Amino acid sequence: MITLGSIAPDFYAKTTMGDLQFHKWLGSSWGLLFSHPEDYTPVCTTELGVVANLRDEFEKRGVKAIALSVDSLESHIGWIEDIERSMNAKVNFPIIADEHAEVAQLYEMIHKDSSEKHTIRAVFVIGPEKDIKLMLTYPMAVGRNFDEILRVVDALQLSAKHPVVTPANWKQKEDVIIDPSISEKDAIEAFPKGHQKVIPYLRYTEQP
């Protein structure tokens, strides 16, 4: 069973950019693994086009994106032409051809009550230590918000570097919350610019 903090299962796969071993391909980068139900479908086309157009944003954060469906490599290659034409994008990340649903089963991407065959819209953000940092599940009819996924990556990377957590609706450059496990004495030392104590366990400070 995959849970937050567990190690992302490793696998070998055929992709539109050649065969790869997942952990080796990730290296020391962060990873975004996301599944789509089926090639040549409208919502999936928009999603892959958006991820392609966000290449610079993912690269800036050190995130490697990789998509998956249970369609064939030939299907993926043909579909990429439609994505690039309709979304004015260059698909610059691999798409896994998971015809036998081996990776989908590893990552529990097929929900029988939704579809016996097709993957739901699963999202996994994976840290440099290969641990699962985020899991999101969307139904087939709803396209994902990749701006939100970038926002969460920002928050995860910030918390990995500093003893802070992020409040609801937080965005880059907004105030953050000092981790409640940090004592008041340590907080004063760690955040010399000061902090605002709303209640004892809610202390805001500038984003480090």
Residues 6+ apart with CB under 8 A from 98: 13, 68, 69, 70, 104
The residues carrying an active-site annotation are: 44
Q: Which pLDDT belongs to residue 18? A: 96
Average pLDDT over residues 29-37: 95
Q: Which pLDDT belongs to residue 172? A: 94
Q: Which pLDDT belongs to residue 108? A: 87
The torsion region of residue 10 among left (phi > 0), alpha (psi -120 to 50) and beta comes to beta
Q: Name the residue ranges covered by the structural domains of the chain.
A: 12-144, 162-205
In order, the DSSP letters of 111-143 are -TTT-SSS--EEEEEE-TTSBEEEEEEE-TTS-
Q: Which pLDDT belongs to residue 37? A: 85
Q: What is the pLDDT of residues 160-173, one digit of tens each?
A: 999 999 999 999 99
Supply the mean pLDDT for the chain. Answer: 93
Q: Which pLDDT belongs to residue 109? A: 85
The torsion region of residue 88 among left (phi > 0), alpha (psi -120 to 50) and beta comes to left
Q: Which two structure tokens, joined as six digits, stand for 59?
A: 């690269």
Average pLDDT over residues 17-25: 97
Q: For the chain, what percent of residues have pLDDT higher than 70?
A: 95
pTM tops 0.95, yes or no: no
Contact 177, 167 (CB under 8 A): yes
Q: What is the pLDDT of residues 34-72, one digit of tens each?
A: 999 889 999 999 999 999 999 999 999 999 999 999 899
Instruction: Give the span between the Cα atoms of 2 and 194, in whole angstroms.
Output: 39
Confidence band for 141, pLDDT divided at 50, 70 and 90: confident
Q: Which pLDDT belongs to residue 1? A: 85
For the cut 70, the answer to whether the pLDDT of residue 13 exceeds it is: yes
Q: What is the pLDDT of residues 88-134, one digit of tens each?
A: 999 999 999 999 889 988 998 875 555 455 666 899 999 999 999 99
The answer regarding whether domain 162-205 maps to CATH 3.30.1020.10 reads: yes
* 12-144 and 162-205 share one fold: no
CATH superfamily name and code, 12-144: Glutaredoxin (3.40.30.10)
